[in-house]
Amino acid sequence: MGSDPMLRAALIGFPSSGKTTLFQLMTSARDAPRGKGDVNIGISKVPDDRLDVLTGMYNPRKRVPATVEFTDLIAPSRTGAQALVDVAGYKNADALVHVVRAFRDPAVPHPSGSIDPARDAQAMEDELILADLGVAERRLERIEKDLKKGKSAELEKERDLVQRCREALEQGQPLRALELTGNDLKLLRGFQFLSAKPLLLVINLDEADVAEVGADVRKAAAKTGLAGFLAHAATRAVALCAKIELEIAQLEAADAQAFLADLGLAESGLDRVIRASYDLLGYISFFTVGEDECRAWSIARGTPAQLAAGEIHSDIARGFIRAEVVAYDALVTRGSMHACKEHGEVRLEGKEHIVQDGDIINFRFAT
């Protein structure tokens, strides 16, 4: 694994909603995108002030942030649920980023003939729900057939879960709203239900509304008629104007900062989208530090130390002895690993230790 980005997010949305503009924004200022089949793939670096502080302390040869991978359809004929079912680069997306058009520009026709963000958000939700309903129904038929051949507790559990899913879907509820956990969640992952995937709504604001709305999602939702949708859809949202953000991203850093400040924005839309995508899955970062490299690693919240070690290298997980762990705040307060040791703030943890966000870890392992 190691260098593989753990989080893959697929851009969906109706034609001309601004997906590719957002994709360019996410990737142009960073690494060049690479094409693969029907999709462009771009890697974005997750902004993290803590990594900057650590880099300042260690002055390493390399600074490696956590990453998120975004995919965009190159020649989209289907841009919603069907793409997620059909297109190779979209099939196993961890999260969906729905770009909702709120910019009015009459020079860019909308396929439905008018600008209505709430309608579009709901229409995409319905697409996802409808696709899932088909999957749930086929799965239930299959389970009933198998149950006739022989009862099993496992199968019955699965049937109950899929039935629950079907009921929710029939009521127009996306599966992500069920907030399943543990085994149920694991079972469900196998089906690749689309409405179960974490969803980030990117409200693509009109240029004229940016100054008024800023980065305030509530204001954006009120302005674009999305407030009701966001209140019940178990969804996160970010508001930005992709076109303006793309222009800003192409400026020199100092000019970009001034431009953002003019618009009343503390952080670029790029950083907000990446961070929101990252947070969406409940991902956290731990760090490895040294003069050679300071690096942020992504893991799901609740990951034990040995599994986290496997992110770096399978050998480290296999030969795992102990994890030396310091909390980020302790290291920054004390100023060095040595000082932390003297104050008893470096803990020796075993395989099962649940890694916390911001932990700085040195894995001891046998080869």
Ligand X SMILES: Nc1nc2c(ncn2[C@@H]2O[C@H](COP(=O)(O)OP(=O)(O)OP(=O)(O)O)[C@@H](O)[C@H]2O)c(=O)[nH]1
* Among residues 204, 277, 285, 298, the one that binds ligand X under rule CB under 6 A: 204
Amino acid at 69: E
Window of 9-17, 50-58, 156-164, 292-300 that interacts with ligand X by CB under 6 A? 9-17
Is 192 a binder of ligand X (CB under 6 A)?
no
Taking CB under 6 A as the rule, does residue 17 contact ligand X?
yes
The mark string for 229-258 relative to ligand X (x by CB under 6 A, - otherwise) is ------------xxx---------------
Write down the residue that tokens 């949708």 correspond to: 229
Task: Single out the segment in contact with ligand X by CB under 6 A; choices: 10-18, 44-52, 158-166, 228-236.
Answer: 10-18
Task: Say whether 62 sits in a helix, a strand or coil.
Answer: strand
Contact between 27 and ligand X by CB under 6 A: the answer reads no
Q: Does 89 bind ligand X (CB under 6 A)?
A: no
76 binds ligand X (CB under 6 A): yes
By the 10 Å C-beta count (0-12 exposed, 13-18 middle, 19+ buried), 111 is classed as exposed
User: How far, in Å, CA of 141 to CA of 143, rounded?
Assistant: 5
Interaxial angle between packed helices 242-249 and 19-28, expressed in degrees from 0 to 180 and rounded to the nearest 10: 20
What's the closest the beta carbon of residue 71 comes to ligand X, in angstroms? 12
Query: Does 268 interact with ligand X (rule: CB under 6 A)?
Result: no
Q: How far apart are CA 15 and CA 18, in angstroms?
A: 8
Non-local (6+) Cβ contacts of 284 within 8 A are 298, 299, 300, 301, 355, 356, 357, 358
Asked whether position 108 contacts ligand X by CB under 6 A, the answer is: yes
| 24 contacts Mg ion (rule: CB under 5 A) | no
Instruction: Report in angstroms the alpha-carbon separations of 275 from 45, 53, 57, 270.
Output: 9, 18, 24, 9
Contact residues toward Mg ion (CB under 5 A) are 19-20
Contact residues toward ligand X (CB under 6 A) are 13, 15-21, 76, 79, 103, 105, 108, 204, 207, 241-243
